[in-house]
Chain A
Amino acid sequence: MSYGTGTRNRRPNYAQLHARPLPLITTPLPAFIPHNPLSLIRILHALLLPYIAPPPSHPAPRYQAYFSPATRSVHVTDPAAVRALWESGFFGKGSLSRSEPTWLEGEKRRRGLGAEVTSEEVTAKRRRERVEFKRERARLEREAVEEQLRKEKIAANGGAVDELVEKVAALEVTEVNGSAQAGESPETVEDPVEVVVEASDLKAEAAADPETAPAPSVQDVDIHLVNQEHLQLSLEEAFFLTYALGVLDVQLPSSSSPTLPTNASYLHLFRTHSRFPPSATLTPTDPFLLRYAVYHHFRALGWVVRDGVKFASDFLLYERGPVFKHAAFAVMVLPSFTHEYWFEDPLGVKERRRVEGERGGRDWVWLHCVNRVQTAVVKTLVIAYVDVPPPGEEVDDVGDVLGRYKVREFCLSRWSPNRNRG
């Protein structure tokens, strides 16, 4: 018996769907083919075109989003922007879905409108099959025990016992001596009544199963479904899209000016809201700055970075995106203090103590907890230390602020002496 016995749903062509790693448009140079002189003309055309009519690299109107102070996140409601941000770069999370915003699809399917199968449904189906598998396994084990009990009862009553006793004894001996030949197969004796009961159980379950249940007729369905889901961007994602890529405008909910004027004001807004309650006193140890430095670092290296709160970490690193492969790494962000300000200036020492805690760092129990979770979900733990600079004067250039933070990553994994000997 194996998992996934049902017919596999055909997947969309993810490689084509997610061909662009970021929501930017790039125009690569055409290939040069030596025996085809026309290819030179194509290359020349591609090289000269930007001077005459530059092709767009950014979406023509920037994507619009609004900042939600209550949830400390940035919401995107325009469906085109939601699709674009998800498909190229895997930004954000559907507010009513697991990750990809699929609430509308699922809702249509639920009402019998025949939309695509969502990933949540695939997961639910797999879980049902797993439960079924475990139930079947438990039934076989139970039957084997009953069979053994029956044999022993016969043996105790002294019926046609001798051979049974011998058989059981032989079973014992082979087990103790270590030859793996187990006794007879317990599936030889099958209780017909039991089988019938099981089958009827399965039938009743199938009827109760929502997927195989007959769909409601189309007349009952309200055709005009309103999409009640929005894409929810974390503050780091929103800042990366505005500052680093320049494809997003964030509006404040109650403000006269629709969007913020500069990147520095975005940075100020997000730093203010990275603590709870929001405070206007900014320090170099703001959680937003530490997290954004790491986010930007791994994005710049080419990773798809997503929030790791599901696995009790700060970020997850995907190689191309969550639809292609599981995340192989989970990142924990830790501050690192190397500048002398943090050891000599009384204010610096106080702030460092506040961040590091009484013991001057995380204890080993914390590390064991984190690493245990990551081992259980087959991810490697990455500790990303962010070297915090001393406080300086506030500058308007975001690049100057971020350039003073330095990231260094260490990888950790469990090491077992018994598995490294070979």
Chain B
Amino acid sequence: MPPPSSEAGDDDGSPPPSPALSPRGTSSTPSLPAPSADVDLTDEVQDFRFLTSLIDSETAQKLPSRGTKDFEPHGTRAQDAALAASRAAMHAALSLARVHPRGGQRAEWDGKDGAWVDKPGGFWVRSVGRVVRVPIADSDSDSDSEDQPSDTMPTKPKSPRKPKTEARTHLHPEEALWLLERGSLDIHWPPAPGEAPFTGLPMSLQGGYAAFLGEVLSLEVFTVYQYLKRAGYTVLRAGENEGSVPVYKAAAGNPLSVLFARLWTALFAPQPAHDPTTNTSIGPAPTDPTAPRVTYHVYKPLPGFKKTSPGPPDFYVSVINARESCFPSERQLDGLLAQTPYHPPTGVTNLYLRLKKGYRDVVLAVVDQGVAWSMAIWTS
């Protein structure tokens, strides 16, 4: 969670693209050019002194850097000072009071699985939430708040011949909870009957988790959602985005090469193997009802993204609870991959590339007791 800063509204959770220049490691030892085989980026520790620069608003656009790590105290004051500075920065970042910005956005829990936003706006509207047309409440009942119609219990229009509707922004539970966690949204409990909307008690974080997690949204799914969102991706529910999945159209092959390929396989039949080119369609798993489902369609954070026409997704993510499932069987994997588009590798004759580039691929996000681990899996 990034500490709130005055410029927090500008970024989308993604690190800014400015080049990093930052503290080297705590040691000032001369470093020989290390052999690349010995360098593993995941082994390095972060230097928490970068957190001070996040608090200073002038230098907020900096990336954390990695450096050579010190393995033991060697008694120099320089090292002690660096350690103390790092600790102080960490404490300062943690002790900062987290307050929601004054005049921030408001929303109200819809009583089931989501929230209605009061006046949608801000950086996140580009990729989060969807516009729903709801019947407008009667004007005489809430004449005092025409621009803030109550929606938690929408009153039926009295005149069915004239159904007045209005567009309102609705958030899924994971979206509402992510924005609440992030400090971008104030969510309120539904008000007491007779009171104006958005005047209920503000929802605490604990209350948010209790209200939004449940049958619709499991903790595993939310873990993956917020992880991807914080990494900067745009994440849409797969079930609501099926129209964006591209459909494969076979290019007309050279008849001669097709004939030759058939002749070749007839002459030199190897060990019987699965032919990935037989099924090119997309659809829900027909072979195995227990196959995992694609949970999210994920888009890279590129400019020009439009919620209404997102285009083909970049990744297809399936969230899996590691404690309740095994590594999927062949049928289950087949069913899972059938939900992703077919994209045969074109013009690949190389042995290595034929295996390296698949026909379909999916990202499995395996969550084991809150620890997420993701991997790509593809057929070839």
Q: Does A353 contact B (CB under 8 A)?
A: no
Interface stretch of the complex, out of A136-144, A205-213, A277-285? A136-144
Q: Is the CB of B273 within 8 A of A413?
A: no
Q: Is the CB of B30 within 8 A of A187?
A: yes
B332-380: which have CB < 8 Å to A? 333, 351-352, 355-356, 358, 363, 366, 368, 373-380
Q: How far is the CA of A268 from the CA of B377 in the complex (A)?
A: 36
Q: Which residue of B lies closest to A413 (CB)?
A: B376
Q: How far is the CA of A405 from the CA of B271 in the complex (A)?
A: 8
Q: Is the CB of B327 within 8 A of A406?
A: no
Q: Which residues of A contact B377 (CB under 8 A)?
A: 410-412
Q: Given contacts A178-B62, A319-B352, A336-B330, is CB(A420)–CB(B315) below 8 Å? A: yes
Q: How far is the CA of A380 from the CA of B355 in the complex (A)?
A: 10
Q: Does A14 contact B (CB under 8 A)?
A: no
Q: How far is the CA of A35 from the CA of B252 in the complex (A)?
A: 37
Q: Does B35 contact A (CB under 8 A)?
A: yes
Chain B contact-residue range equals 35 or more
Q: Which of B33, B77, B231 contacts A152 (CB 8 A)?
A: B77
Q: Does A407 contact B (CB under 8 A)?
A: yes
Interface mask (A344-368 → B, CB under 8 Å = 1, otherwise 0)? 0000000000000001111111111
Q: Is the CB of B351 within 8 A of A303?
A: yes
Q: Does A201 contact B (CB under 8 A)?
A: no
**For chain B, what secondary structure do more than half of its interface residues adopt (helix, strand, loop), or is it mixed?**
loop
Interface mask (B189-226 → A, CB under 8 Å = 1, otherwise 0)? 00000000000000000000000000000000000000
Q: Which residue of B lies closest to A404 (CB)?
A: B272
Q: Which residues of B contact A2 (CB under 8 A)?
A: 33
Q: Given contacts A144-B30, A149-B75, A362-B327, is CB(A3)–CB(B35) below 8 Å? A: yes
Q: Does B85 contact A (CB under 8 A)?
A: yes
Q: Is the CB of A176 within 8 A of B32?
A: no
Q: Which residue of A lies closest to B366 (CB)?
A: A364
Q: How far is the CA of A175 from the CA of B24 in the complex (A)?
A: 6
**Number of contacts between A and B (CB, 8 Å)?**
185
Q: How far is the CA of A202 from the CA of B293 in the complex (A)?
A: 62
Q: How many residues of A contact B (CB 8 A)?
A: 78
Q: How far is the CA of A387 from the CA of B270 in the complex (A)?
A: 15
Q: Given contacts A178-B21, A183-B28, A338-B331, is CB(A403)–CB(B272) below 8 Å? A: yes
Q: How far is the CA of A403 from the CA of B300 in the complex (A)?
A: 44
Which residue, of A183, A301, A334, has the highest number of chain B Cβ atoms within 10 A? A301
Q: Is the CB of B78 within 8 A of A172?
A: yes
A114-149: which have CB < 8 Å to B? 130, 133, 136-137, 140-141, 144-145, 148-149
Which residue, of B32, B34, B62, B320, has the highest number of chain A Cβ atoms within 10 A? B32
Q: Which residues of A contact B22 (CB under 8 A)?
A: 178
Q: Given contacts A145-B74, A145-B76, A300-B271, is CB(A410)–CB(B28) below 8 Å? A: no
Q: Does B329 contact A (CB under 8 A)?
A: yes
Q: Which residue of A lies closest to B89 (CB)?
A: A176
Q: Is the CB of B82 within 8 A of A175?
A: yes
Q: Which residue of A lies closest to B81 (CB)?
A: A172
Q: Which residues of A contact B331 (CB under 8 A)?
A: 336, 338
Q: Given contacts A148-B78, A301-B351, is CB(A421)–CB(B85) below 8 Å? A: no
Q: How far is the CA of A272 from the CA of B49 in the complex (A)?
A: 64
Q: Is the CB of A148 within 8 A of B270?
A: no
Q: Which residues of B contact A422 (CB under 8 A)?
A: 300
Q: Does B178 contact A (CB under 8 A)?
A: no
Q: How far is the CA of A407 from the CA of B270 in the complex (A)?
A: 11
Q: Does A30 contact B (CB under 8 A)?
A: no
Q: Can you pick out 8 interface pairs between chain A and chain B where the beta carbons lie within 8 Å of each other? A: A145-B27, A172-B78, A175-B24, A180-B21, A302-B351, A338-B330, A364-B320, A413-B376
B: which residues have CB within 8 A of A? 14, 21-24, 26-35, 49, 52-53, 62, 65, 74-78, 81-82, 85, 227-228, 231-233, 268, 270-274, 300-301, 315, 320, 322, 325-331, 333, 351-352, 355-356, 358, 363, 366, 368, 373-380
Q: With A137-B31, A140-B32, A329-B355 given, can you name 15 additional A-B contacts, CB distance below 8 Å?
A: A140-B29, A141-B27, A144-B28, A145-B76, A176-B49, A178-B21, A336-B329, A364-B368, A365-B322, A404-B272, A408-B330, A411-B355, A411-B358, A414-B376, A417-B374
The 3 closest A-B pairs by CB, nearest first: A300-B270, A361-B326, A408-B274
